[in-house]
Structure 1
Amino acid sequence: MVNIINTLTLKMFLMSKTFISSCTTISKKVINGGHRGGQNEIQITGWLGRFLSLFLVFIASGSVFADPAGSTSSPGVSTASNSSQVWFTPEVVAILTTAAVALFCAILHSRSALRIARKRAAMDAIMESKRDESLQEGMAFIREVDKDNQKSIETYYNPECSSPEERSHILYVLNHYENVAVAIHKSIYDNDIYKSAQFTIVKNLVEQTESFIKKVQRHDSPTAFQELIALNTKWLANPVKTEDAGKAGTFSDWVANLF
């Protein structure tokens, strides 16, 4: 039995080496390709890591409770005494320890690559939004309406009271940030990066278009732009502060990011 366990343990160690190599390759792909590549591979690697971890526990349990090959209870020696013996050979201990450490480091490496991919995806999206002329025109139009005391944003909901182009400006901006909110909620974009860069923009947008959103929800869809509103509410509960600019993260933040 011990020989079987040693064989299985050695195979698991070899699987761990393959797993680490896969993590390294996928991490490079994700970091170099941003959110456009490697997301599915990282998820698959995560599940592989969980499988190998369970396999590690199984092998360790079998090593503890297995009897040596061909052993039988000796006369005068109780079965309980035999079953309490631990059959860890130095080779098994060394391989199990190495495999456990390798798996732990590989899983952390994989999670770190995924966090980097989310941060890069958020930065790419923010930079792309600055180059989006339709988005910038829509934002400028909303600010213009908000500053004009003779105009109300909700009047642009009714097609007969506004031109299709003006109404489309508002809807384009709201749909854009609704999609951003969904991506943050689904962990495609990094929440902290987006919050640091666009907290004020999102806050002002929701305030400026609140009456328009309520009309859309009342007459078209009660769930319209709900992710955007939820994101704004979440950010307002812990707003970005001026004194936080350029501030390094704490040790607890580092541990939280690690896991």
Structure 2
Amino acid sequence: MPSTKDAEGFIKPIAEEATQQASLFLGESIGFWVQTAAIVLTAFFAAWAVFSARQMTRRKNSADVIFNSKNDKKLRDGIKTISQLHKDSTVELAQFAYDLSNDQTKRDQAASINYVLNYYEYVAVGVKRGIYDEAILKDSSYSTLVHMYEFCQPYIENVRRQNQRPTTWCEFEALAQKWQDKPLKAKRKR
């Protein structure tokens, strides 16, 4: 069997040298690459776990908002008030944006309108920031949210003008307009 002498005069078999060269890949040992692959796979699965947990949290938060909205008497009453005012042809919802200090009923109605708009602003900010899953909320609240926006739009514009704050309820408005642009599609029966 052929052999070579190393620097110290020892004889090394050529087969041993070939084995040593074969254990290198791109200048690194096989052990290095196994360790690197393990680290990369661990990082991938950790990132996947974080992503999955985030999605699950968004879905849970969305379910909580939906459930809580069904149990929020003040919200339900406010939506009912807005719907009744909208149906009453003698009432303009926009008028509730102005000072109503002499009429307690109108003040209460304006407070109900504000409560509903603030609630939907809160939801819209949560959707924008990724706290809530937009698809779940859209599936469950599309009609109510869009109708509340349509009914309250004149009121919103008057409040903005009166208070000189053009961003009042702007996230709610943006979400409602986005949903109007891409409405829910009717599901086919099988």
Task: Supply the distance in 1 between the matched residues of 2:189 and 2:149 (Cα, whole angstroms).
Answer: 23
Of residues 208, 219, 226 in structure 1, which corresponds to 2:170?
A: 226
Q: Which structure has the larger Rg?
A: 2
Q: Report the RMSD for the aligned CA atoms in angstroms.
A: 1.8
Task: Supply the distance in 2 between the matched residues of 1:199 and 1:233 (Cα, whole angstroms).
Answer: 11
Of residues 22, 25, 39 in structure 2, which corresponds to 1:99?
A: 39
Counterpart code for 1:241: K
Task: Supply the distance in 2 between the matched residues of 1:87 and 1:155 (Cα, whole angstroms).
Answer: 78
Q: Secondary structure at the match of 1:203?
A: helix
- Which one has the bigger helix percentage? 1
Of residues 174, 180, 183 in structure 1, which corresponds to 2:126?
A: 183
- 1:165-184 equivalences under 5 Å are 165-184=108-127
Q: Secondary structure at the match of 1:173?
A: helix
Of residues 64, 68, 71 in structure 2, which corresponds to 1:128?
A: 68
Task: Supply the distance in 2 between the matched residues of 1:223 and 1:104 (Cα, whole angstroms).
Answer: 41
- 1:44-193 equivalences under 5 Å are 86-160=26-100, 162=103, 163-193=106-136
Q: Secondary structure at the match of 1:239?
A: coil
Task: Supply the distance in 2 between the matched residues of 1:86 and 1:104 (Cα, whole angstroms).
Answer: 23
User: Where do 4+ consecutive residues of structure 1 move more than 4 Å?
Assistant: none
* Residues 85, 91 of structure 2: 8 Å contact kept: yes
Task: Supply the distance in 2 between the matched residues of 1:237 and 1:158 (Cα, whole angstroms).
Answer: 31
The TM-score with structure 1 as length reference comes to 0.59
Deviations 1:173-227 (A, max 9, x none): 0011011111111111111111111111111001001110000111111110100
Q: Compared with structure 1, are the counterparts of its residues 196 and 212 closer, same or farther at alpha carbon in structure 2 (3 Å cutoff)?
A: same
1:152 CA drift (Å): 1.1
Task: Supply the distance in 2 between the matched residues of 1:126 and 1:238 (Cα, whole angstroms).
Answer: 21
Q: Compared with structure 1, are the counterparts of its residues 164 and 132 closer, same or farther at alpha carbon in structure 2 (3 Å cutoff)?
A: same
Q: Secondary structure at the match of 2:90?
A: coil
Task: Supply the distance in 2 between the matched residues of 1:230 and 1:158 (Cα, whole angstroms).
Answer: 24
* Residues 159, 167 of structure 1: 8 Å contact kept: no
Task: Supply the distance in 2 between the matched residues of 1:245 and 1:124 (Cα, whole angstroms).
Answer: 29
1:97 CA drift (Å): 1.0
Q: Secondary structure at the match of 1:214?
A: helix
Task: Supply the distance in 1 between the matched residues of 2:134 and 2:93 (Cα, whole angstroms).
Answer: 28
Q: Secondary structure at the match of 2:132?
A: coil
* Residues 160, 166 of structure 2: 8 Å contact kept: yes
1:245 CA drift (Å): 8.9
1:86 CA drift (Å): 2.9
Task: Supply the distance in 2 between the matched residues of 1:197 and 1:245 (Cα, whole angstroms).
Answer: 19
- Which one has the bigger strand percentage? 2
Of residues 179, 185, 189 in structure 2, which corresponds to 1:241?
A: 185
Counterpart code for 2:62: A
Counterpart code for 2:184: V
Alignment correspondent of 1:43: none
The TM-score with structure 2 as length reference comes to 0.80
1:237 CA drift (Å): 2.2
In the alignment, structure 2 segments of 5+ residues that lack a partner are 1-24
Q: Secondary structure at the match of 1:222?
A: coil
Task: Supply the distance in 1 between the matched residues of 2:179 and 2:35 (Cα, whole angstroms).
Answer: 47
In the alignment, structure 1 segments of 5+ residues that lack a partner are 1-84, 247-259
